[in-house]
Each structure stands twice: as C-alpha cells, then as structure tokens.
Structure 1
Amino acid sequence: MSPDEYCQQKAVQSGSSFYYSFLFLPVERRRAITALYAFCREVDDTVDECNDVTIARNKLMWWRKEVQDMLGGTPSHPVTKALQPHMASYALDGKHLQAIIDGMEMDLDQTRYLDFAGLKRYCWHAASVVGIMSSRIFGVTQQETLQYAEKLGLAFQLTNIIRDVGEDARKGRIYLPVNELQQFNVTAADILNARHNENFENLMRFQAERAQTTYEEAFALLPNADRRSQRPGLMMAAIYRALLDEIQRDGFHVLNQKISLTPIRKLWLAWKTYVRG
C-alpha cells in the first residue's frame, strides 16, 4: 500500500463529512488535503484510543519528532511520506502541524474550560489551524481568506462539540464552558449522567446560536476572489450546518446518541454547493 493509498483508506474509514468535499478537488490538491486529514486523524486517535495518558503523551512526542523528520526530508510514517511533497507546494507551515499536536495534548491535560475564551484557544489548535492549512491547499490569493478559514474552523469545532456532548462526557471531558453551564443551571453531573431537561436544551440552543453566528462571520470574511477555490470549505460548511439544524430539530438529544447525516445527504449537499460555485 502506497502512502497516498494509506491516507485515502484512513479518510474513507473515518466516514467524516470532510471526505465528501475532497471528492471535487483536482487530483494533486485532493492528495494533499487527504494527507493532511490523515495526519489529523492519526494524532487524534493517539489520544482518543489510548487509555494510558503516559503512553498517549509518548506517542504524541513521537509525532512531534516525525514532523521534524519530515521537514528534514526523512519521514518514516505513511502519512508524513504522503504529506511531505505538498508542504512547499502549498506553503504549509510545520509549526501548524505542531500546533495540531498541541491541541491533542491539551485533551490529555484539561477536561474542562472555565469560559469561552479558554475553549476558543483549544478550538484554534483543534480546528482553526487545520482550516488555515486546508485553505492554503484549496488556493489562497487574499489574506482575508486565511481569516475566513480560521473562523470557519472554529465554527466546525463548535458544531462538533454540540454533536459529541454525550460521547465526550463518556470519555470524562466536558467542553461546554463552566460559566455557561452555571448560567443555564446545568451541572457537570447532569452532563456526565446524561440528564436531558429544559435547562440543558436552553444551554444547547445558546451553543447552537453561537455556532451559527460564527459561520456567518466566517462567510463575511471570504473574498469573492477566492470563493471558487474555497468551495471545499463551503461544502463542509453546508454539511455541518445541516447537521446542526438536524440536532436542533431533534431537541438536542445528544447525551445518549450521536446524530449524523446519511452519506447520500452529505454528498447531495456537497454537490449543491459545488454547482452554486
């Protein structure tokens, strides 16, 4: 199996919404974004699939060295072998890859966030930096496009947090800010014990409104000159906003289930966005 095939398999197996937007890219850009996505999955799985914090931390340390080795021309992992040729082609920064690893390490060190400012810092490492790198692969001619991509990454992560409240709680993590739980009279025990009530719905409605506002703020930053090249990000946004609407229509029952869209619906949303240009 070639490095590119390894990354492709990683992307397909994930079932992620992001994969559907990759399908509409030219071959070289598709290879680059698939390699970047596979890198994110590898380091994320290091934390999510490892119950021993020490082992997880050591694995992340290995990935830090692997990034340095890749930048030095000696990658050993299929993902970094696939990613290396694209680093210079799309002006990708190794510091951003290290920042992604920082975000994974934050999950080992912190399971609560006191306020939105703290959560936003985590989201930058977990998603905004990925948005910046992705936008470079898609094609950037304007500086504002990078700001759009950073904001869009935040919107994606806020959507993920809403979708995964129950799943994250079962891993011992609550990303919803402590002061906002207090504002809506929801306790950590309510989340950890999957107590769905009116207070929880109000809290989640507040989270969803902020996510929707963040999408709108991101779109307002995207220059017309780069809109066509940035269609993959817009496709992802269409899928994620449809998911957010679905969660809201379902009454935010995210504590005991993970709400998702069907593959055919994701593909249809991606296609509609692509056609609109």
Structure 2
Amino acid sequence: MSPQQYCQQKTRESGSSFTLSFMFLPKEKRDAMTALYAFCREVDDVVDECTDYQIAQTKLAWWKQEVHRLFHETPQHPVTQALQPVVKRFNLQETHFIEIIDGMQMDTQYNRYADFEQLALYCYRVASVVGLLSAQIFGYSHPATLEYAHDLGMAFQLTNIIRDVGEDARRGRIYIPLDELERAGITEEQLLNSKPSEQMQALLLKQIERAELFYDKALNQLPKADIKPQLPGLIMAAIYRALLQEIKPEPNLVLTHKIMLPPFRKLKLAVSAWFKYRK
C-alpha cells in the first residue's frame, strides 16, 4: 500500500462529511487534502483511543518529532510521507501542524473549559489551523481569505461541540464553557447526566447563535475573487449550517441523540452549494 493509498483508506474509514467536499477538487488538491485530513485523523485517534494520559502524551510527542522529520529530514509514517510533496507544493507551515498537535494535547489535559477564551484557543488549534492549511491548498489571492478560513474553522468546531454535547458528557467531557453553565443555572452533574430542561435548551440555543455568528462573519469576509477556489469550504459550510438548523428546533435532543444529516441530503446540499458558488 502506497502512502497515498493509506491516506485514502484512513479518510474513507472516518466517514466524515468533510471528505464529501474533496470530490469537487482537481486530483492534485484532492490528494493533498486527503493527506492533510489523514494526518488530523491520526493525531485525533491518539486522544480518542488512549485512555492512559502518559501513553497519549508519548504518542503525541512522537508525532511532533515526525512533523520535524517531515519538514527537515525523512518522515517515517505513511501519512507524513504522503504529506512531504504537499507541504512543498503548497508552502504549508510546520508551526501549523505543531499547533494541531497542541490542540490534541489540550484534549488530554482538560475535560472542562473555564470560559470561551480558553475554548476558543482549543477550537483555533484543532479546527481554525486546519482551515488555514486547507485555504492554502485550495488557493487564494486575498489575505482576507485567511480570516475567513479561521472563522469558518471556529464555526465548524462549535457545530461539532453542539452536536456532540451528549456524547461528550457520557465520556465525562464538557466543552460548553463552565462560566456559561453557571450563568444558566445548570450544574456540571445535570449536563453529565444529560438532563433536559428549559435552561439547558436556552443555553444550547446560545451556543448555536454563537456558531451562526462565526458562519456569518466568515462568509462576509471571503473576497469574491476567492469564492471559486474556496468552494470546498463553502460546501462544508452549507452542510454544517444545515445540521445546526436541524438541531435548533429541539436542541435538548443532542443530550441523548447524535443528530446527523442523511447522506443523500448532504450530497444534495453539496451539489446545490457547488452550483450556487460556481456562478
């Protein structure tokens, strides 16, 4: 199996909606995004699969060394081997890959976030940085496109947090800022026990409102000249925003259910966005 085939397999196994947008890219960029996404899956799997803190830290430290080898020596892992021509071709920065790993390390260190400032740093590292790397692969001509990519990454991660509130609670994790829980009159125990209430619904609606503001901010910043090259991100925005709209009427459902869009609807949204932004 070649490094690129390994990345393709890793990406297929994830079942993520993000990979749907790759089909609209030319082969060189599609392969680059597949390798980048496979890297994100590898380091994220360390957190998901390692219950021992020291083992997780050791594995993430290895990945930092592997990123150094990617940029300065000879990488050992199939994913970084696939990334080697990508980082050169698209002038990707080593610091961004390190920041992604730093975000994963936060997941091993914290299962609570005191306020949105702390949560925003986590979202930046695990999502906005990926958005910045993706924007470089897609191509852009205006610096404002990087601001768009940053804010769109924030919106995506906040959407994931809202969708996964119940699932994360069952793993003992809370990504809603604790000061916002307190102001809403909700205890950690109530959230961890997935206890629905009017207060919980109001709190979740506020989280949805924040995510929607980041979508609006991102889309308003994207220069017209860069709409076509950034089409994959716009496709994902259409799908993820539709997911938020699905959650919004009954937000308490995320406490007990993982709300998802059917594959056909996601494909329909992707095609619709493609036609909308190709004009």
Length-normalised TM-score, structure 2: 0.97
Letter in 2 for 1:163: R
Alignment size in residue pairs = 277
2-structure distance, mates of 1:268, 1:22: 15
1:125 aligned residue? 125
Contact 2:235 2:270 in 1 (8 A): yes
1-structure distance, mates of 2:156, 2:250: 19
Contact 2:67 2:80 in 1 (8 A): yes
Of 43-52 and 245-254, deviating more is: 245-254
Q: Secondary structure at the match of 2:167?
A: helix
Deviations 1:53-106 (A, max 9, x none): 111110001100111111124111111011110102111101100000000000
1:216 aligned residue? 216
2:233 aligned residue? 233
Letter in 2 for 1:6: Y
2-structure distance, mates of 1:2, 1:24: 23
1-structure distance, mates of 2:168, 2:264: 27
2-structure distance, mates of 1:73, 1:251: 49
1:159 maps to 2:159? yes
Of 53-62 and 69-78, deviating more is: 69-78
Q: Secondary structure at the match of 1:141?
A: coil
Q: After superposition, where does 1:94-109 map in structure 2 within 5 Å? A: 94-109=94-109
Of 227-236 and 170-179, deviating more is: 170-179
1:191 aligned residue? 191
1-structure distance, mates of 2:158, 2:240: 10
1-structure distance, mates of 2:263, 2:89: 31
Q: After superposition, where does 1:1-277 map in structure 2 within 5 Å? A: 1-276=1-276, 277=278
Q: Secondary structure at the match of 2:248?
A: helix
Q: Secondary structure at the match of 1:146?
A: helix
Contact 2:70 2:81 in 1 (8 A): yes
Letter in 1 for 2:18: F
2-structure distance, mates of 1:127, 1:3: 24
- Cα distance, 1:112 vs. partner? 1.2
Q: Secondary structure at the match of 2:99?
A: helix
2-structure distance, mates of 1:65, 1:49: 20
Identity percentage of aligned residues: 55
Cα RMSD, aligned residues only: 0.9
Letter in 1 for 2:104: M
1-structure distance, mates of 2:251, 2:50: 32
Give the gaps of 5 or more residues in structure 2.
Answer: none
2-structure distance, mates of 1:131, 1:34: 14
2-structure distance, mates of 1:78, 1:208: 38
- Cα distance, 1:166 vs. partner? 1.2
Of 27-36 and 177-186, deviating more is: 177-186
Contact 2:204 2:251 in 1 (8 A): no
